[in-house]
Chain A
Amino acid sequence: MSCTFPEERLTALLHGELDADERQVALDHMSQCTSCRKLQASLASAWEELGDLPRHETVSPGTRRAVESMIAASAAERETGGFGRRRRVERVPGLRRLAARWTPAVAVAAALVLGFMGGSRLSSPVTTPSSDLAQRLDELEQAVLVARLQSSDAVARLATIEVAMSRADTRPAVVEALLRALADDPSINVRLAAVEALTPALADRQVALRAAQLLGRDRSVLVQLALTERLGALEDANLREAVAREVEPDGLQPEARRRFEALLGAST
């Protein structure tokens, strides 16, 4: 999402957690922002489906295992199905870990969407994974991750980045959020984690070039050194040259500059 409106406000709006003034501000913003309307619609849709869940229906442990297996299989299918991105199969544990640290309502929503959507498909024997289910879960996960990266709690932001890091998450929305964290987050610890989490995505030329642009702007030599190490480790020589051209040399601190020259062969 390109706008800067806090996405956690959107989820708070959905949950009815905003007061009248905040709610009006959020609604006014959404009336003018397409991307926020789209995200809100996606989240609202998930909630509506939760509302369809019969009260007497519960998800048994066996069903849950079956759904999780199905999601894992679906993820594996997509991993080998030419989406062009490396993905891990163990998605659900990561979501649980994030859920343990974030707004319980959204975490529960994610879990219930998983259970409900999967359960509805298990009412008759299911033998093939549902790409639709996986896609919905994927969107929900991304929304949770991206919103969480805008939390005012630095520990929560760091925990979120660790989730992305543990998965080598290179989904565009997540990478975009990580780049924003690298550019703007006031915590050095969070920016250092963002560097690490971005590492798998640096093979993408656009991501590497944007990271290089941020290198000379960060005031912390720790972040500069960490990012220099990651950019210097790029295997593509042409990309390394392009990266070297993007860096603002005046912004590099002496030790980072020396390391930059050593690793990227660039004289700044």
Chain B
Amino acid sequence: MNARSAGRLCRAITFVAALAGGFLPGLAAQETPSSAKGGAESRPPEYAVTVPFGQSDRRPRVEILMAQGPVEIREYARDDLQYVVQSAAGVTDRHVLVVEMEVGGARILAGRGLEGLKVWVPRGTSMRVESAEGGGRIDVIGATGAVEIVNVNGPVQVSGAPSALMVNTTNGSVRLRLEAWAEAEGPYSVAIHNGSLFVNLPAGSGAEFDTRTLFNGRFESPLPHRKFKTPRGERTRVGRGGPTIHVSIHNGSVNVDETRQPASEVSP
């Protein structure tokens, strides 16, 4: 069986997360994704559901399509995916979440009634998170793969050293806590309709911001920076410069600062 056939077979296997409400006692109010922190809590609890990835030479890939959040995704040192889900009272989880396995990845479909979803993925996973309806808070912690996020309402935070980044939100701010920035690959693109972009760069590093499409906002940073013209428009260089972040904001500003403390110690 080649990889493609295996992919079809795996994809044909659809797991419905038929989890009883009492099956997830730890995902009560005291441990919602938005309140999770680094350290010990970054490990999946014992009751987390494990989804094995099929063997593939490609980077693992995870796609999460949801009606609403919040969603938190973390990388960890395993080669499978684990998740825990919390649904609204009166809504059984089987109606909230569907997980499809694919070769080298998985797709999670989260419907209405989701009150919290925490997902752990292998290091280097390329991930795509899209909210179709109301949206909600989306946190990606410790990313090293490519990250694509499309959100409607709610803040977005990405920390780590994503190899590429695309964020598009309608209402909500975006915070990037970047690490290992000097080795960044890119591309990095952030488009926000209403909301600001907050970027924390590693101490001593720089960046360039393509802010030509910053319409009703300002670029602010306590770090040394200057604007300069290029053949195609205007850019803002922070420090000595570095990888470029393309920014398009309709109503909002860009705020750039250095990271004051490790991302793992900061609540998202």
- Residue ranges of A at the interface with B (Cβ–Cβ < 8 Å): 19, 153-155, 158-159, 162, 165, 168, 187-190, 192-193, 196, 199-200, 220-222, 225-226, 229, 255
Among A155, A168, A190, A196, chain B packs the most CB atoms within 10 A around the CB of: A155
Q: Which residues of B contact A200 (CB under 8 A)?
A: 232
Find the A residue at minimum CB distance from B213.
A226
A199, B193: Cβ atoms under 8 Å? no
Contact digits for B124-156, partner A, Cβ 8 Å, 1 yes 0 no: 001010000000000000000010101000000
How many angstroms between the C-alpha atoms of A57 and B189 in the bound complex?
43
User: Which residue of the partner chain, among B150, B187, B212, B213, contacts A159 with CB atoms under 8 Å?
Assistant: B187
Tell me the minimal C-beta distance from B100 to chain A in angstroms.
16
Contact A192/B232 with A159-B164, A221-B193 known, Cβ cut-off 8 Å? no
B213, A229: Cβ atoms under 8 Å? yes
How many angstroms between the C-alpha atoms of A229 and B248 in the bound complex?
13
B193, A192: Cβ atoms under 8 Å? no
Cβ of B254 within 8 Å of any chain A Cβ, yes or no, is no
Tell me the minimal C-beta distance from A187 to chain B in angstroms.
7
Find the A residue at minimum CB distance from B128.
A154
User: Which residue of the partner chain, among B186, B191, B233, contacts A188 with CB atoms under 8 Å?
Assistant: B191
B250, A187: Cβ atoms under 8 Å? no
Contact digits for B243-256, partner A, Cβ 8 Å, 1 yes 0 no: 00010101000000
B250, A222: Cβ atoms under 8 Å? yes
Tell me the minimal C-beta distance from A152 to chain B in angstroms.
10
B187, A222: Cβ atoms under 8 Å? no
Interface of chain B: mostly helix, strand, loop or mixed: strand
How many angstroms between the C-alpha atoms of A203 and B191 in the bound complex?
26
Find the A residue at minimum CB distance from B166.
A189
Q: Which residues of B contact A153 (CB under 8 A)?
A: 126
A192, B213: Cβ atoms under 8 Å? yes
Q: Which residues of A contact B23 (CB under 8 A)?
A: none
User: Which residue of the partner chain, among B166, B213, B215, contacts A154 with CB atoms under 8 Å?
Assistant: B166
B4, A155: Cβ atoms under 8 Å? no
User: Which residue of the partner chain, among B148, B186, B212, B246, contacts A229 with CB atoms under 8 Å?
Assistant: B212
A154, B148: Cβ atoms under 8 Å? yes
Among A19, A158, A190, A196, chain B packs the most CB atoms within 10 A around the CB of: A158
A158, B193: Cβ atoms under 8 Å? no
Cβ of B159 within 8 Å of any chain A Cβ, yes or no, is no
B250, A225: Cβ atoms under 8 Å? yes
**Seed contacts A221-B193, A226-B248, A229-B212; 13 additional CB < 8 Å A-B pairs:** A19-B4, A158-B166, A158-B187, A159-B164, A162-B187, A165-B232, A168-B231, A187-B166, A189-B168, A189-B190, A193-B189, A226-B213, A255-B250
User: Which residue of the partner chain, among B146, B150, B233, contacts A155 with CB atoms under 8 Å?
Assistant: B146
A222, B186: Cβ atoms under 8 Å? no
Contact digits for B33-54, partner A, Cβ 8 Å, 1 yes 0 no: 0000000000000000000000
Among B189, B193, B233, chain A packs the most CB atoms within 10 A around the CB of: B189
How many angstroms between the C-alpha atoms of A153 and B163 in the bound complex?
14
Find the B residue at minimum CB distance from A22.
B4
Tell me the minimal C-beta distance from B35 to chain A in angstroms.
30
Q: List 22 A-B contacts (CB under 8 A).
A: A19-B4, A19-B5, A153-B126, A154-B128, A155-B126, A158-B187, A159-B164, A162-B186, A168-B232, A187-B150, A188-B191, A189-B167, A189-B191, A189-B246, A196-B246, A220-B191, A220-B193, A221-B193, A222-B193, A226-B248, A229-B212, A255-B250
B164, A222: Cβ atoms under 8 Å? no
How many angstroms between the C-alpha atoms of A193 and B164 in the bound complex?
14
Instruction: Enumerate the 9 nearest inter-chain pairs by beta-carbon distance, A residue then B residue, closest first.
Output: A189-B189, A155-B146, A189-B166, A155-B164, A226-B213, A188-B168, A222-B248, A188-B191, A158-B187
Tell me the minimal C-beta distance from B192 to chain A in angstroms.
8
Contact A222/B213 with A154-B166, A192-B191 known, Cβ cut-off 8 Å? yes
Among B167, B233, B248, chain A packs the most CB atoms within 10 A around the CB of: B248
Q: Which residues of B contact A19 (CB under 8 A)?
A: 4-5
B166, A155: Cβ atoms under 8 Å? yes
Contact digits for B43-85, partner A, Cβ 8 Å, 1 yes 0 no: 0000000000000000000000000000000000000000000
How many angstroms between the C-alpha atoms of A153 and B63 in the bound complex?
11
Contact A221/B146 with A154-B166, A155-B126, A155-B166 known, Cβ cut-off 8 Å? no
User: Which residue of the partner chain, among A154, A193, A199, A225, contacts B246 with CB atoms under 8 Å?
Assistant: A193
Tell me the minimal C-beta distance from A100 to chain B in angstroms.
8
Q: Which residues of A contact B231 (CB under 8 A)?
A: 168
How many angstroms between the C-alpha atoms of A98 and B215 in the bound complex?
31
User: Which residue of the partner chain, among A155, A165, A225, A255, contacts B213 with CB atoms under 8 Å?
Assistant: A225
How many angstroms between the C-alpha atoms of A19 and B8 in the bound complex?
12
Find the B residue at minimum CB distance from A100.
B185
How many angstroms between the C-alpha atoms of A189 and B148 in the bound complex?
10
How many angstroms between the C-alpha atoms of A153 and B145 in the bound complex?
13
Contact A187/B168 with A154-B148, A196-B232, A225-B250 known, Cβ cut-off 8 Å? yes
